[in-house]
Amino acid sequence: MKEGPDIARIGTLIGDPARANMLTALIGGQALTATELAQAAGVTLQTASSHLSKLEDGGLIAQRKQGRHRYFTLADAAVGTLIESMMGFAASRGHLRHKPGPKDPALRKARVCYDHLAGDYGVRMLDSFVAREVIESDGENLKVTEGGQGELSALGIDIGKLAANRRPLCKSCLDWSERRSHLAGTLGKALLQNFMEKGWARRSLESRAVLFTPEGERKFLSLFPV
């Protein structure tokens, strides 16, 4: 018997089209009901329940109960990073399921990847941080520099508090549309929350798109020049 991690099981769980659709529906970080996930997967509620049970047993999703209702989310940020990375890999190999539609431009520009900013704006933010030496990049490894801590503090980001979290502070996440890295980790999450709290942007009610106001976009582009 082979020893080591069982990647075949994970591959089997994600590889089913219905389950893959459910996982990509959850990558926006929102909790969804079994009915909503059944619609996303294009299957009956009974079939969806079976798929959800397998995903939960495999550690890919978690269940939350609120009153009589049950909601499902990705188990943690690691699952979100895995799914987004697989989407990026699939796109880089030309494995696209449909032609770009009307909503694609907004998703490609800025969207939520589990809990952080992705798309063109997400990649732009990381590129700008690296160019200004706020973040040091060594391949896929990212680190906030000493000088960068002061700049992030000026934005209202408490690095000390974020660093105390069990999750990584900075993490590289492959962007499926840009096919380059954007910023994940607790810092990526804090920055997206910061932009929304300032009123620069909001989440779309119809998709994972992040919609910037004209003023918010002006400030974002000024803050993160390329």
Tens digits of residue pLDDT in 38-96: 999 999 999 999 999 999 999 999 998 887 888 999 999 889 888 988 887 887 787 87
Q: What is the rounded CA–CA span in Å between residue 29 and residue 25? A: 9
DSSP string, the chain: ---S--HHHHHHHHHSHHHHHHHHHHTTS--B-HHHHHHHHTS-HHHHHHHHHHHHHTTSEEEEEETTEEEEEESSHHHHHHHHHHHHHHHHTT--SS---TTHHHHHHSEEETTEEESHHHHHHHHHHHHTTSEEEETTEEEE-HHHHHHHHHTT--HHHHHTSSS-SSEEEE-TTTSSEEEEHHHHHHHHHHHHHTTSEEE-SSSSBEEE-HHHHHHHHHHS--
**Euclidean distance between CA atoms 55 and 13, whole angstroms:** 7
Q: Which residues contact 166 (CB under 8 A, 6 or more apart)?
A: none
Q: What is the pLDDT of residues 149-193, one digit of tens each?
A: 999 999 999 998 998 888 889 988 888 888 788 999 999 999 999
Structural domains in the chain, CATH included, are 7-75 (1.10.10.10), 79-223 (no CATH)
Give the pLDDT score at 163.
86
Residue with tokens 């589990």: 114
